[in-house]
């Protein structure tokens, strides 16, 4: 009786192991259900009405935050057409990157600041909002060096 129980237990374990391998293989070979690119909210067209003002840079002590808000004020039209990959469209109801700087949200979010400084730099290079958006979607904003924004920025 002991040998039969032992055989049954081993056969059960082997069966579970083989079943697990089979199901794991099937699960890994399926195509993903979640879209590869999940682009947050943005406006595809230029603004038709007046845009919200950004908060004053002087309200912040940190030089990088000040520079991000100063840059945001200079490129509001471009920011209006940019997504924000901190996904504040979901958590805060933002409709574009501009909304982050019309509130204090941008001051505490590295993603918002990097994307805004990227937009500022690309605008200075003559890129269109659509070209900038494509760069943001590719993650190019992650290459911004914040060290150069530690001192006051000339944003004329």
pLDDT tens for residues 7-44?
A: 544 444 444 443 443 333 333 333 333 333 576 667 67
Residue 103 has pLDDT above 60, yes or no: yes
Segment among 41-55, 59-73, 100-114, 128-142 with least mean pLDDT: 41-55
More confident residue, 41 or 112: 112
**Is the whole model's pTM more than 0.75, yes or no?**
no
Tokens of 97: 């990157």
Tokens 């509001």 belong to: 76
Residue 147 has pLDDT above 80, yes or no: yes
Alpha-carbon distance 103 to 58, whole Å? 14
pLDDT tens for residues 44-81?
A: 777 788 888 999 999 999 999 999 999 999 999 999 88
Domain boundaries, the chain: 1-32, 57-149
């Amino acid at each position: 009786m002991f040998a039969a129980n032992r055989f049954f237990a081993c056969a059960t374990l082997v069966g579970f192991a083989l079943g697990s391998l089979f199901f794991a293989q099937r699960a890994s070979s399926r195509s993903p259900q979640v879209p590869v690119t999940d682009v947050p909210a943005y406006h595809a067209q230029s603004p038709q009405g007046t845009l919200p003002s950004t908060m004053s840079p002087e309200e912040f002590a940190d030089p990088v935050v000040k520079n991000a808000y100063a840059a945001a004020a200079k490129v509001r039209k471009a920011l209006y057409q940019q997504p924000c990959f901190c996904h504040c469209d979901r958590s805060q109801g933002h409709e574009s990157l501009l909304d982050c700087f019309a509130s204090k949200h941008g001051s505490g979010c590295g993603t918002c600041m990097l994307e805004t400084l990227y937009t500022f730099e690309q605008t200075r290079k003559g890129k269109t909002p659509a070209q900038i958006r494509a760069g943001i979607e590719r993650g190019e904003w992650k290459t911004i060096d914040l060290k150069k924004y530690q001192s006051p920025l000339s944003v004329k």
